[in-house]
Structure 1
Amino acid sequence: MTNNKKNPWGGDNQTPPELDEVIRDFKNKFGNIFGGVSSKSGAPIVSKTPIFKYLSILALLVWLGYGFYIIAPAEKGVILRFGAFQEETSQGPHWHLPYPIESLNRINVEAIQDMQIGYRDAVRNRRGGNVSSESLMLTKDENMINAKFAVQYKINDAQKYLFNVANPKLTLRQVVESAIRQVVGKNSMDYILIEGRAAIADSIKEKSQELLDVYAVGLLITTINMQDVQPPEPVQAAFSDAVKAREDKQRLINEAQTYANDILPKSRGRAARMLEEARGYKSKVVSKSEGEAARFKKILTEYQKAPGVTRERLYRETMENVLANTSKVVVDSKANNMMVLPIDKLLDNKAAHTNKIVIQGSQSQQVKQDGSIRNVFRNREVR
């Protein structure tokens, strides 16, 4: 019968190892790590394995650590492997194979950049001022103008921006200059200088963006502003005179329009008033005529009943109306041979004397006296 019980120390009927032997083995293992081993007697023996092997491992770990990177929210990371595009990363922590296998390009796709066409900013450029080669251009009516534009743009495609065009900013400048000359060449000088500034800037932006999309530059134009536009310096004086004359013309037009706005309502009011007066006069005449016709019809009825009496009454009423406003005196020469007195003169003198009395008295007394005197003389005339 075999014995199935085995010794846990590695062999049949073996005793546990000594403590000194265990310590010795432990030293030997760690001695190998640091470049040497110990003999059975415990003396260290120099190892043939070089120490830089372990340093290489440490350097490899450090090199791999350089592959960690963090992309900001406004950036895009473009990884190149031996110069060729590998991938595009967005915000957050990432890792790539360190240089020289792969390289990282950080592209800010949110930052707004600017560019000057026709001038340079003196703050950023020591040679600031006007750039005639960019600003002078020909209009549709064969006039020269000096125009300056400010372009604002940003990167909208990092991969296209890095690989499609060798110099994206130079390409942008050339594209915008070409669009400016194209748009300016299709418009007149007066339109560009006075009323078409905003429309021209919008048209330049649209055409420039179309060309950038065709070239796949990876840039997006946000705004194009016309900073300044004026005729060339040698003709500025003549142009200023033309502008002044145009302003005087507009001023006179405005004054004439103001006068028209003032006089036309008045004329319309007077015309309306005259029409209303004419309508009133028409209504008055028609009503009076209708009344006269109705009165005549009534008189005719009475005349048909008593022609003699009616004729006499009409005669007396007519004579009363005629003689009421005259100063003549009618005397029957057959009935009386008395000398005709100038009664009209006497009436005038009496009236003047009465006016003097009224000035000293009250107005009511004057009326009564005038009425009584006239009644007396009127009775005498009737007699």
Structure 2
Amino acid sequence: MTQDAPDYNEPEIGTSPSDFAAIAREKLRHFLLMPSFGSRSIGLVVLLALIAWVSTGIYKVQPDEQGLILRFGKWVETTQPGLHFHLPWPIETAVFPKVTQINQLQLGQASGATASARDKQMLTGDENVVEADGAIFWQIKDAGLFLFNVAEPEVGLRVAAESALRAVIARMPIQAALSEKRQQIADETKTVLQKILDAEGTGILVIQVQLQRIDPPRQVIDAFNDVQRARADQERARNEAQAYANDILPRARGEAGRIRQEAEAYRARAVDLAEGDAKNFLAVYQTYTQAKDVTAWRLYLESVDAILRKATKVVLDASGKGIGEVVPYMPLAEPPSHAGADTQAAAKSK
């Protein structure tokens, strides 16, 4: 049911100002009159309004985001990518920070008007001073912790990174830090830094630590380079000496081994010969004890035979018996060398 609009007369020309005011009030009252609804219509409107209000709690988190649910402004939950629901506004609201972006923090750069090169000087394990520059690559791991648990997360990250780098370099000698241990320092710094950040609940994930420069301070770099060159010369001389030792010692050991083996062979041969002579002597002695005359005569003949075997000339007694039968069978020819020498001597005498 609707109410009929009241009748009113149009103002006529010449009407007084008070009449104009009355007519204006009447028109305004007519304009503000609303149509009346029944109870069923009112319930439908309320239901639609309630559905619209509840639907405001449906939200979607993108793949590169995390959803943070705030209940009356306080962080209560973190949701992952996908379709979710929270209590409608003003009870709960949702924010969607980006968490996949890779951020970079530069270490060793002067920050502030009072900063100086002393801020990036670090003490090594052998009590030397170096200056180190590096870069920290990081991203948000837990957006709730990152936004609501730490007041200034990037400042905290810088302080923790400098502390971790100093702790790692403090365990390294300067020569290792300047040469072959740079990657090891970066890896250990990443591990130590991540432990610090997790313990403080910063919600930051360290992707990579990259060392860009590790050098001695500018004031002493020339002297340091002289020391390094002297150490390089020392190391080169040591390597040359080691190479010479590696060359000469094996040869000396080989020569000593050869001499030792020859001595062992000579000893074995001398012992065997001595043992053979001793056994031969004992055998002859056994024979001599059994037949002294025969053994003595045999030893005499063997001795004469050994002497005559070395003789170049043999003189025979013509008065001996059986000479005619023996002489043709005796080798009276002289060796060629001695015969040639006798012929030359005879020619000279003529």
Structure 1 and Structure 2 fold alike (TM over 0.5) = yes
Amino acid at match of 1:115: L
Unaligned runs of 5+ in 1: 1-28, 40-44, 51-55, 121-129, 333-343, 354-383
| Partner SS for 2:278 | helix
Alignment of 1:244 onto 2:229: yes
Please report how far the alpha carbon of residue 68 of structure 1 lies from its aligned counterpart in structure 2 after TM superposition. Answer: 4.4
Question: For 1:12-45, what per-residue CA distance to the aligned partner results, in whole angstroms no more than 9, with x for missing partners?
Answer: xxxxxxxxxxxxxxxxx7xx6xxx9799xxxxx9
Alignment of 1:319 onto 2:307: yes
TM-score by length of 1: 0.60
Alignment of 1:93 onto 2:98: no
Aligned identity (percent) is 37
Instruction: Please show how residues 4-83 of structure 1 align to structure 2 within 5 Å.
Output: 48-49=33-34, 68-83=58-73
Please report how far the alpha carbon of residue 168 of structure 1 lies from its aligned counterpart in structure 2 after TM superposition. Answer: 0.6
Residue 169 of structure 1 is aligned with which of 154, 157, 161? Answer: 154
Measured in 1, the distance between the counterparts of 2:212 and 2:51 equals 56
Unaligned runs of 5+ in 2: 7-29, 36-44, 318-336
| C-alpha spacing 1:249/1:169, structure 2 compared with 1 (3 Å) | same
Measured in 2, the distance between the counterparts of 1:274 and 1:156 equals 74
| C-alpha spacing 1:207/1:308, structure 2 compared with 1 (3 Å) | closer
Question: For 1:244-298, what per-residue CA distance to the aligned partner results, in whole angstroms no more than 9, with x for missing partners?
Answer: 2222322333333333333333233222222222222222222222333343345
Please report how far the alpha carbon of residue 229 of structure 1 lies from its aligned counterpart in structure 2 after TM superposition. Answer: 0.7
Residue 113 of structure 1 is aligned with which of 77, 84, 103? Answer: 103
User: Counterpart of 1:379?
Assistant: none
Alignment of 1:350 onto 2:343: yes
User: Counterpart of 2:128?
Assistant: 143
Alignment of 1:153 onto 2:138: yes
* 1:149–1:225 contact (8 Å) kept in structure 2: yes
Amino acid at match of 1:157: D
TM-score by length of 2: 0.65
| Partner SS for 1:275 | helix
| C-alpha spacing 1:187/1:273, structure 2 compared with 1 (3 Å) | closer
Please report how far the alpha carbon of residue 66 of structure 1 lies from its aligned counterpart in structure 2 after TM superposition. Answer: 6.3
| C-alpha spacing 1:77/1:133, structure 2 compared with 1 (3 Å) | farther
| Partner SS for 2:78 | strand
Measured in 1, the distance between the counterparts of 2:163 and 2:344 equals 104
Amino acid at match of 2:260: L
Measured in 2, the distance between the counterparts of 1:345 and 1:75 equals 117
User: Counterpart of 1:377?
Assistant: none
| Partner SS for 2:66 | strand
* 1:37–1:46 contact (8 Å) kept in structure 2: no
Please report how far the alpha carbon of residue 146 of structure 1 lies from its aligned counterpart in structure 2 after TM superposition. Answer: 1.1
| C-alpha spacing 1:352/1:107, structure 2 compared with 1 (3 Å) | farther
User: Counterpart of 1:337?
Assistant: none
| Partner SS for 1:146 | strand
| C-alpha spacing 1:185/1:296, structure 2 compared with 1 (3 Å) | closer
User: Counterpart of 2:292?
Assistant: 304
Measured in 2, the distance between the counterparts of 1:173 and 1:134 equals 12
Select the structure with the greater relative contact order (CA < 8 A; seq sep ≥ 6): 2
Please report how far the alpha carbon of residue 46 of structure 1 lies from its aligned counterpart in structure 2 after TM superposition. Answer: 7.0
Measured in 1, the distance between the counterparts of 2:173 and 2:250 equals 39
* 1:37–1:47 contact (8 Å) kept in structure 2: no
* 1:139–1:184 contact (8 Å) kept in structure 2: yes
User: Counterpart of 1:270?
Assistant: 255
| C-alpha spacing 1:162/1:308, structure 2 compared with 1 (3 Å) | closer
Please report how far the alpha carbon of residue 218 of structure 1 lies from its aligned counterpart in structure 2 after TM superposition. Answer: 1.8
| C-alpha spacing 1:351/1:92, structure 2 compared with 1 (3 Å) | farther
Please report how far the alpha carbon of residue 111 of structure 1 lies from its aligned counterpart in structure 2 after TM superposition. Answer: 4.2
User: Counterpart of 1:180?
Assistant: 165
Measured in 1, the distance between the counterparts of 2:142 and 2:212 equals 28
| C-alpha spacing 1:183/1:299, structure 2 compared with 1 (3 Å) | closer
* 1:117–1:151 contact (8 Å) kept in structure 2: yes
Instruction: Please show how residues 326-337 of structure 1 align to structure 2 within 5 Å.
Output: none
Amino acid at match of 2:59: Y
* 1:118–1:135 contact (8 Å) kept in structure 2: yes
Measured in 2, the distance between the counterparts of 1:181 and 1:233 equals 19
| Partner SS for 1:256 | helix
| C-alpha spacing 1:320/1:110, structure 2 compared with 1 (3 Å) | farther
User: Counterpart of 1:338?
Assistant: none
Please report how far the alpha carbon of residue 71 of structure 1 lies from its aligned counterpart in structure 2 after TM superposition. Answer: 0.9
Mean CA deviation greater in 160-169 or 266-275 = 266-275
| C-alpha spacing 1:292/1:200, structure 2 compared with 1 (3 Å) | same
